[in-house]
A and B are shown apart, each in its own frame.
Chain A
Amino acid sequence: AQKITQTQPGMFVQEKEAVTLDCTYDTSDPSYGLFWYKQPSSGEMIFLIYQGSYDQQNATEGRYSLNFQKARKSANLVISASQLGDSAMYFCAMREPNTGTASKLTFGTGTRLQVTL
């Protein structure tokens, strides 16, 4: 069985500072994918970053980077130079083992990030 854990229900960060959102996962499958999504108050789910279990390097996408520690089963999201527009819910998700052309995601409970002036 898979499990995604986000232990921070809410986080505050000052504008222009960096923030780390925690995510740990549990799976017995060697092949998996980890995702981070941003959900603003409008409800849409915005893809931020992806890390494959076999990727040698940590994923980066602009101001977003994923601190992937496989042995610890953690995939923390780091947002650098926070902006007011980063205020939103952030979800960590794991893709189940590939079963064809697409795989479903299991989501964590989310972290609400509030960026302050």
Chain B
Amino acid sequence: GAVVSQHPSRVICKSGTSVKIECRSLDFQATTMFWYRQFPKQSLMLMATSNEGSKATYEQGVEKDKFLINHASLTLSTLTVTSAHPEDSSFYICSASTPNRNEKLFFGSGTQLSVL
């Protein structure tokens, strides 16, 4: 079946640094990928929709300059948390849709970000 790979799985960084998270679709082309954020014991909240070759669409309340999204190819989307602060510590998870839009979304394994 379709597989989505996400790296790194865990990252610890100092406050003020930037962190890049990669999301790859391994055996299918994903024109659209989604980035979610999940706080402990809470649900997934959509941050943005990443569109190949165009600008990402951000959900209300998500800072575009803080969370930079690049979808340069049909198999790769990246999320960069710029100038990270402790409040950015969270679980970030990406998903990609198979070409058949009626089918399931596949998720990456997630990235646990801890900002010291």
Is A81's CB within 8 Å of the partner chain B?
no
Is B97's CB within 8 Å of the partner chain A?
yes
Residues of B within 8 A of A37 (CB): 107
Partner of A44, one of B34, B97, B104, B110: B110
Partner of B109, one of A42, A52, A100: A42
Q: Is the interface of B mostly helix, strand, loop or mixed?
A: strand
CA distance A4 to B106 in the complex (A): 20
Within 5-24 of B, Cβ neighbours of A (below 8 Å) are at none
Is A68's CB within 8 Å of the partner chain B?
no
How many inter-chain contacts with C-beta < 8 Å in the A-B complex?
A: 65
CA distance A37 to B30 in the complex (A): 20
The contact size tier of chain A is 20 to 34
B46 near A106 with CB under 8 A, answer yes
Closest to A35 in B: B104
A43 near B42 with CB under 8 A, answer no
CB distance from A94 to the nearest CB of B (A): 12
Chain A residues in the interface with B (C-beta under 8 A): 33, 35, 37, 42-47, 50, 52, 91, 95, 98, 100-110
